[in-house]
Structure 1
């Protein structure tokens, strides 16, 4: 681990400095490390598509840490040790946290609640922490150590934004696999977490360019991307689009949000379904998540 975290580094450097954020492998880099090249002409062949989807699933579960992929390490064991080491050295020890079990419980709760909502007040009550300020401070430590991110609701009203619950995402899906307690993987939530981290890797800064959105009727849109003062793109993540009710719910959420925010680029990221749906003069693009991972600015390579 680095001797100084990014915020600390900024205080000791003089003159201009540009922080460079290095994240685990994105899907393109993961495939490169696996020596796999996507041949789009072969994708209609079930066997070839199956090979690619198996790699997507591996990436979905085990994440993109280079050491795990390049050295074929046991991801659960290696990342479990790495996570605990960062929590102790870069959080508990660095910030002299007196009640290490409390921040451990908070971290465990957040990792198990990945892609989910939380409020500072509820976390304080559930975990019997001293104050909301303590919870907020601990979460800031975890973010500074690159264990989690938080995402806020997009709203033009400052009060609404502050009062709304936040969402938590984990820096890499491999950490979730190593540390979350579950009987089976929740692939829908894992896919949402993976899409969030991909957006961050593409340079969208959470709570400045990237938000979640809730319509006036309470319909949620997973991601709203803002450029300047305007929301330009709305993204839903849906693992199970084969279910008609689920598909209609996702479409309604996008259309309602688009009407309120005037966002025109509407996307539903799926496991492997590709189509376009036109409704009320708007086009919703259903894009397989693997194809989106290999894309940039809507252009598929």
Structure 2
């Protein structure tokens, strides 16, 4: 049974022959290739496109190793474009294999692949789609390199809605399964808990770490592993490179530089395994330099890396909400609100309170708190205190792990159940 990725298929439909290179990026094994070579391929055939006019190249397959040379790649594609009156579709999978390490590391060195793709665009009858699993492919400013002719589509692991639409069942039970094993598409084909665990665990050692080690010539591979464990263990907690370096150094009995840790965090983020959430001062309208938070792109991968031992329900829920907001296209930050409180001695002091997320898109902004339960009395007041100390009029939302239907309290705060939030893409606008 095909897993529907309607959000991304629609983006591909809308961008068909728009004169731009479609860059389909995201975490490896999150479904990019399946989207392009299965779902979109079948869509094109259904519209009458001839199979022979779809040129497919999988650069991570050693069969195509010779085509990792941009010059050879260009010759091969052009040799298959034989009719100037015919429209052609070029699918390139895992295109980072055609970009050298030197090109990645040197911002002043032009990337040959970009000129190859631009040259193909100039033919006029070629529509180009590439997938890539490393943000370094984009970090040299793909839009500039393509002279405004790059169209980025980011594919994420299955959202809870995509997962639920595929497997069905009782919402709370399906959520617990999702919160354990996440949304990596191929994991759905594994029919036992043991096989799901084995598959998710193997992705780090057999795919992600190998990619990072080979591409960046990592010497301290054990440090990379310990760092990954630390980030997975501390989702939803404030951290920085200095703190992690001290923790790992203490465990090893040998000092680790914060520069090395910062560099390795960058590699893990570039591979889309983690995403940073910066802290934003709501009243001061500024970002803090550190500490920040890191969230796992897929909660199942996080759990697998920790051998499914750390099941902090609230942090897992927070990570899932963060991923959902990012998937919906929001810039997501952690909010900080400074409030004045009176101590037992009658003294007044300033205290920083945290808002789990600030979700921003253009001129739209939402303040969001996540809680397992709807608290009452003093606990409820503490949960909502940051909201009540914000002076602007943007919507404030409390998401709780309940079936509660959306309702707004006397202070203007929208209360919404977790399952409604995750399953209704317009839930923030309710």
**TM bucket normalised to smaller:** 0.7 to 0.9
Residue 278 of structure 2 is aligned to residue 278 of structure 1? no
2:248–2:256 CA contact under 8 A, matched in 1: no
SS at match of 2:151: coil
1:240–1:246 CA contact under 8 A, matched in 2: no
1:162-177 paired onto structure 2 within 5 Å:
162=289, 164-177=290-303
How far apart are residue 75 of structure 1 and its match?
2.2
In the alignment, which residue of structure 2 is the partner of 1:120?
A: 241
In the alignment, which residue of structure 1 is the partner of 2:318?
A: 192
Q: CA RMSD in A?
A: 2.6
SS at match of 2:152: coil
Q: Which runs of 5+ in 1 are unaligned?
A: 37-50
In the alignment, which residue of structure 1 is the partner of 2:422?
A: 293
How far apart are residue 269 of structure 1 and its match?
0.7
How far apart are residue 115 of structure 1 and its match?
1.6
How far apart are residue 17 of structure 1 and its match?
1.6
In the alignment, which residue of structure 2 is the partner of 1:210?
A: 332
1:224–1:231 CA contact under 8 A, matched in 2: no
Q: Which runs of 5+ in 2 are unaligned?
A: 1-27, 29-93, 97-132, 250-254, 339-350
Residues 63-120 of structure 1, C-alpha deviations (whole Å, 9 max, x = no match):
1111112443632211110122233222122111111111111111111111211022
1:241–1:247 CA contact under 8 A, matched in 2: yes
In the alignment, which residue of structure 1 is the partner of 2:399?
A: 269
How far apart are residue 158 of structure 1 and its match?
8.5
In the alignment, which residue of structure 1 is the partner of 2:154?
A: 21
* Structure 1: distance between partners of 2:175 and 2:220: 39
SS at match of 2:216: coil
* Structure 2: distance between partners of 1:106 and 1:266: 34
Name which of structure 1's ranges 85-94 and 146-155 shifts more when overlaid on structure 2. 85-94
SS at match of 2:352: coil
Aligned residues: 276
How far apart are residue 143 of structure 1 and its match?
0.7
1:112–1:181 CA contact under 8 A, matched in 2: no
More relative contact order, 1 or 2 (CA 8 Å, 6+ apart): 1
Residue 379 of structure 2 is aligned to residue 238 of structure 1? no
How far apart are residue 24 of structure 1 and its match?
0.8
- TM, length-normalised to structure 2: 0.59
Structure whose CA Rg is larger: 2
